[in-house]
Amino acid sequence: MTADAVLPNPAAGVADEVAAYPPAVDLRTMMAKRPLPAVAPGTVDASSLTGEEPARLARRVLDKLNASLAAGDAAGVEECFNASQAYWKDSVALTWHLRTFGTPSTIAASLLETSRLRGLSREGFQVDGDAHFDPMFSFIDCHISFATSSPATKAIGKVLLLPVRGGDGNQVEWKIWILSTRVKSLDVHPENEALLRQPGRAISGEQDFETQTLIVGGGNAAVVLAARLKALGVESVMVERYSQAGDNWARRYGSLQFHVPTSSTQTPFLPYDDSLLGRMLKREDLANHMRRYVAEFHLNILTSSRVQSSVFDTSTKKWTITIKTPAGRVTATARHVVQATGLGSQQPFVPKLADEGLYKGVAIHSTEYQNPEVSLKAKGVRSVLVVGSANTAFDVLQDVHDAGLEVTMVARSATFVFPVEYLDNPLALGAYNTAGAGADEVDRNILSLPTLVEAWLTKGLFASLARAEPEKDR
């Protein structure tokens, strides 16, 4: 196989060079070890699980869980969970981290410790709204809410309950299959969107300054975090290496686009324009929205600047950050520093190859790629080899093909390819398109599932959609 140009993908090979922490695992291996639990036909009468009955059953289980937690009864807590498979997924509510626990005994020990440390309220976990029975998977789906005192928070979540036959084979007990908990708000810092309209600070890049939080970066994560903090009454300043927010998108290749529905990528406080909801977001859409975000909310940003050093003072509990700006060097002092510089895709990784000098064609990294005309055709390229199979690789592949060049993709391992319409299904990310469904509510449902369970459900959904289209080439 020969090619006039070779374009390595940014992510290709990175996993071989950087040690993962925690250690990476193969999701397929985990799925093989932990299939979804099966409920035997006839275990429950679906016709009896209507109206208030699912909520009543959920309340009974939660009452037992709350009583066991209050009594410090580890065996009682463990008894509330499904013995063959159970999960507790916490998002900052009790563990103050993103954690998933996977056996009843581990869940019981962790819940007892964290509920004590965080001061779970006397009421414990409470049913929040309606509960319903899912006849396809035979579980009860119930939203919950609770509060903590250390620190004072309001939190939400959900429980999925499975029916389990007792030892006599007749009586059915409902056990927790999945408990999901997520912090909603800090009482000491209630969110106030009116603060977003207040003027920002005049930061010139010529004088030293102090702020509560310094954010390194000016892309999506940075500007959304800056807005969230401002709504909480916490000041921040972003340091962006390019001349304006959003340039991390605007300076990339012309055919760049997101590969998920726009409705599932909404930003808080300021959604994308309705005209963008029917298609994938392009490079310009992303860049323009970031700039609009900064302007509308008067966010503090120091552009064309780079962080050169940072030192933490253990006595004052503050950071001292040296920043190079167009006007020279300034020093910033902050209680917190957040790195929001992305996943490293703009740090080119080009594998070292034996006798690489023998290749005389064009060899560029995707960070250098602009479009087929400038990057390839102008250099006499007629055939292209794209190394890698992630989003960037497919963007470039399509771009080069549309320009009439011969193109081949080389993937290190098998790549799962499916129609993008599958993601837009109402049972997948298309849930964000459902009329009347707010993003917060959909987030609450989608983000509640452990990764392993989500993988199983997605696999089943995509297989079902594929069976409905037997005429398509596989």
| Domain chopping of the chain, boundaries | 42-186, 193-339, 366-410, 420-472
Task: Output the pLDDT for position 7.
Answer: 64
What CATH architecture applies to the domain 42-186?
A: Roll (3.10)
Contact between 422 and 462 (Cβ < 8 Å): yes
What is the pLDDT at residue 427? 87
Whether a cis peptide bond, with omega within 30° of 0, leads into 163 is: no
Per-residue b/e over 339-360, b at no fewer than 16 CB within 10 Å?
ebbeeebeeebeeeeeeeeeee
Question: Would you say 323 and 332 are in contact if contact means Cβ atoms under 8 Å apart?
Answer: yes
- Of residues 438, 440, 160, 203, the one with CA closest to residue 323: 203
pLDDT of residue 16: 45
As given in the structure block, the two tokens for residue 20 are 């993962």
Give the separation between CA 164 and CA 171, rounded to whole angstroms. 8
pLDDT, averaged per 10 consecutive residues of the chain (474 residues), comes to 57 47 78 92 92 97 98 98 97 95 96 97 95 94 96 96 83 96 91 94 90 96 96 96 94 93 89 86 95 96 96 97 96 97 75 85 92 95 94 95 96 86 87 74 88 93 90 66
Other beta carbons within 10 Å of 257? 16
Characterise 382 by phi-psi region: left (phi > 0), alpha (psi -120 to 50), beta (else). alpha
pLDDT given at position 473? 59
Predicted local distance difference test score (pLDDT) of residue 14: 41
pLDDT for residue 4: 61
Question: How many other CB atoms are there within 10 angstroms of residue 122's CB atom?
Answer: 9
CB count in 10 Å sphere of residue 81: 26
pLDDT given for residue 169 in this prediction: 66
Cα dihedral 257→263→265→267 (10° resolution): 120
**Which CATH code is given to the segment(s) 193-339?**
3.50.50.60
Q: Give pLDDT, residue 6.
A: 61
Cβ partners under 8 Å of residue 259, min gap 6? 280, 391, 394, 420
pLDDT at 279: 84
pLDDT score for 445: 85
Domain 193-339 in the same topology as domain 42-186: no
- Residue 268: burial class (beta carbons within 10 Å; 0-12, 13-18, 19+): middle
